[in-house]
Amino acid sequence: MIGPGAAGLLDLAGIFVFAVSGALAAVRQRLDVVGMVVLAEITALGGGILRDLVIGAVPPAAFTSLGYVLVPLGASALVFFWHPQVTRLLPAVLFFDAAGLGLFCVTGTVKALDHGLSPLHAVLLGVVTAVGGGVLRDMLSGQIPSVLYDRQLYALPALLGAVVIALAYEADLHGGFVSAGAALLAFGLRVLALRYGWRTPRPRGVPD
């Protein structure tokens, strides 16, 4: 796997961009600073907490590392004071959000496999790690979770990355290149969906 130092930095980077998206959601909903911090924290950490609770890795990693709590606070402060500027940088935020999605679907799947889950269940938990925080964010802000209408391919890239890393582990293929490849695959599909407006299909007869 990726070295622990590099993995930790990438993890914090993913947490930061997810926290920014949560804080921006609070701005759109006209919430105060408390609501902003809550949405930032839950978006950044919710998926990982759910994963750790399911596999019995308690206390969850979010409660054993100070950085996991401070990084979303920093993202909240950034958005609180400079949200117009951050909003103008939204394409860049979405780019890094896609990177976080790719990273988290892989790390979530690997952690589940390391705790003895079957490949299928590990894949499901990898997807939960990647999208769980966003689901909690949308629910708390009174919106239908975006994962339920995956209109610009969010859950599907996470699923693809998780499946690839699970298959690689089943074939006894490990290492940083394997993990990076699976993460890049999820990241690339998400970026292409944003670029070209790719959408998942709706049932026949249901208008867009």
Asked if residue 94 has pLDDT above 90, the reply is no
pLDDT at site 146: 79
In a domain, 205, yes or no: no
Who has greater pLDDT, 151 or 93?
93
Q: What is the pLDDT of residues 12-57, one digit of tens each?
A: 887 888 899 889 889 988 999 999 999 999 999 999 999 999 999 9
pLDDT at site 7: 56
DSSP codes, the chain: ---HHHHHHHHHHHHHHHHHHHHHHHHHTT--HHHHHHHHHHHHHHHHHHHHHHHT--S-GGGT-HHHHHHHHHHHHHHHHHHHHHHHTHHHHHHHHHHHHHHHHHHHHHHHHHTT--HHHHHHHHHHHHHHHHHHHHHHTTS--GGGG-TT-SHHHHHHHHHHHHHHHHTT--SHHHHHHHHHHHHHHHHHHHHHT--PPPPTT---
In a domain, 155, yes or no: yes
Domain total of the chain? 1
For the chain, percent of residues with pLDDT exceeding 90: 53
Asked if residue 92 has pLDDT above 80, the reply is no
Confidence of residue 4 (pLDDT cuts 50, 70, 90): very low
In a domain, 120, yes or no: yes
Who has greater pLDDT, 185 or 147?
185
Backbone φ/ψ region at 65: left (φ over 0), alpha (ψ -120 to 50), beta: beta
In a domain, 54, yes or no: yes
Q: Spell out a b/e string for 152-175, using b for 16 or more CB atoms within 10 Å of the CB, else e.
A: bbbbbbbbbbbbbbbebbeeeeee
Residue with tokens 């998942």: 200
From the list 73, 69, 83, 100, the residue with the least C-alpha distance to 29 is: 83
Q: How far is CA 163 from CA 119, 151, 188, in A?
A: 8, 21, 15
* Structural domain containing residue 141: 4-196
Who has greater pLDDT, 177 or 74?
74
Q: How far is CA 52 from CA 47, 64, 75, 105, 189, in A?
A: 9, 12, 23, 14, 27
Mean pLDDT of the chain: 88
Q: What is the pLDDT of residues 156-193, one digit of tens each?
A: 999 999 999 999 999 999 888 898 899 999 999 999 99
In a domain, 12, yes or no: yes
In a domain, 41, yes or no: yes
In a domain, 206, yes or no: no
Which amino acid is present at 98?
A
In a domain, 203, yes or no: no
Confidence of residue 131 (pLDDT cuts 50, 70, 90): very high
User: Mean pLDDT across the stretch 105-121?
Assistant: 93
